[in-house]
Chains A and B, each alone.
Chain A
Amino acid sequence: MRIFDPHIHMTSRTTDDYERMAAAGVRALVEPAFWLGQPRTSAASFVDYFDSLVGWEPFRAAQFGIRHHATIALNPKEANDPRCREVLDLLPRYLDKDGVVAVGEVGYDSMTPEEDEVFAAQLALAVEHELPAMVHTPHRDKARGTERSLAVIAESGLEPGRVVIDHLNEVTVPLVRDTGCWLGFSIYPETKMSPPRMVELLRKYGTERMLVNSAADWGRSDPLLTRATGEAMLAAGFGDDDVDQVLWRNPVEFYGQSGRLDLGADEASGETGPGTFEGNSILRGGS
């Protein structure tokens, strides 16, 4: 089972997790820029975070043969802090990077006027940089937040096929299914979505434009739930090809629209990417 996790916050995971993910079949992932648990107090703090998403994390992932890509944005939570607003001015330089395959996570947290403004400004950046967008839907007042997000997207001029609406559930899927946007699902041990519930949604809505991720962030989460979902699909009677579509071909197709996805010449062999040495610092325990 080859797995592309389209939304996972590796910054909050240990190197052991990379090893376990590789063993479970994860060969590629996208790490969206979001928060760090502790709110940041300046744009400079984001610079180091974004640098890590295009520097250290891809290096760490490559030790285990995992291709790491990122999405870059000012997230809706911190969009509300005026001290972080300058981050918007930094974004263009990161949106030019090879490893950046979308603008994200954008969207709503508390649906404030500040969030409106930052969301719209970043969708305009996606249009300008010819990148897809990843839209986070809020955990509170989710259904209305999703509808409002769809309205902002429609107004942005960004093609729906270049947008994924993420963290969907049974209530919000019907709002998105016919818009042409991609549908993202974060499989969590307890809250957002579980593997059995995900299988039910795939039965009901089919496997097209469906993206399954583990999110694996600062909450109670598990980076192997993509694999668990694939196994639940098989147990429920889906075929290997369905699993491959959901866990590999769909994310490749969605992020491939950036023109920047780099899965290596031989993506089937799972060998370590170029530019790394055997027995490098991480495998040896670092310094």
Chain B
Amino acid sequence: MEPEPELERLRAALLAVPDGRLPDRDWLTEALARVGSEPAALGRLFAAAGRRCGREPLPDLPDWTADDAARVLLLAALPPTELPGQAETCYRHGDAAEKRAVLRALPLLPAVGDAGVPLLHDAIRTNDTRLVSAALGPYADRLDQAAWRQAVLKCVFTGIPLSAVSGLDRRADAELTTMLAGFADERRAAGRDMPADATALLDRLSVLHRSGTPARSGAEEA
């Protein structure tokens, strides 16, 4: 996913929503222009984006809702030097939907740099499945391995589909295999099922590690 084309795809999909339904195009156009020249105006516009642009999935990009897309575009319209600070403020001051939008924006906004990593930690600490899953997109490459493993386990525990985790097989290591196997043991002892996607992951990892592939655990520890 290249950031620029992805932003263009979002903009096109948001504007392609059939006429007569949200988004309010005039509001959006004006809001995007305004945050470029007056970054301090972002807070109120960011909060209003849901009621102005709608909250339904976009017909052309069903992985995205209109409010998420609008908020990502608002962040992208900021002067790049404003972005790290404003992204953090929008997250810290945001309701759950605003927080989710910031998390989804992070991988699309290179100017944020590492400033979003503490936001991922905050989101993963919650038990709000929308936030935990939004935190595990491509930007989660910047999470240290221990935090990332805990987040994957949290998905399994809270029923978040593992498809939310970007680069799952690439990053899964022997330590995650051990943790998943332990969790599977607990579930078995309790007579409860593991989610099917977690069982499948454990099967894949077990084959990999039994066949003598060197465990990558530790290599990326912070």
Contact = CB atoms under 8 A, between A and B. Distances in A.
Given A55-B128, A262-B55, A280 B158 contact: yes
Looking at chain B's contact residues, the main secondary structure is helix
A274 B127 contact: no
Nearest to B57: A274
A274 B67 CA distance: 13
B129 A55 contact: no
Contacts of A99: 95
Contacts of A286: 127
B158 A93 contact: no
A97 interface: yes
A197 B48 CA distance: 41
B216 interface: no
Contact of B129 (A58, A97, A276): A276
A284 to B, nearest CB: 6
B170 interface: no
A284 B193 CA distance: 12
Nearest to B52: A98
A41 B221 CA distance: 41
Most central of A98, A280, A282 by chain B CB within 10 Å: A98
Interface in A50-99: 51, 54-56, 58-59, 93, 96-99
Nearest to A264: B55
Interface in B42-73: 43-44, 47-48, 50-51, 55-56, 65
A161 B68 CA distance: 34
B115 to A, nearest CB: 21
Contact of A277 (B65, B97, B100, B160): B160
B159 A56 contact: no
A58 B129 CA distance: 12
Looking at chain A's contact residues, the main secondary structure is loop
Interface residues of B, number: 27
B165 to A, nearest CB: 14
A15 to B, nearest CB: 11
Contacts of A37: none
B96 interface: yes
B47 A274 contact: no
Contact of A276 (B48, B93, B130): B130
A83 B154 CA distance: 38
Interface string A245-285: 00000000000000110100100000000111111111010
Given A56-B127, A59-B128, A98-B47, 19 more contacts: A55-B99, A55-B126, A58-B95, A93-B43, A96-B43, A96-B44, A98-B51, A98-B97, A259-B51, A262-B55, A274-B55, A274-B65, A276-B129, A277-B159, A280-B159, A281-B158, A282-B127, A284-B157, A284-B159
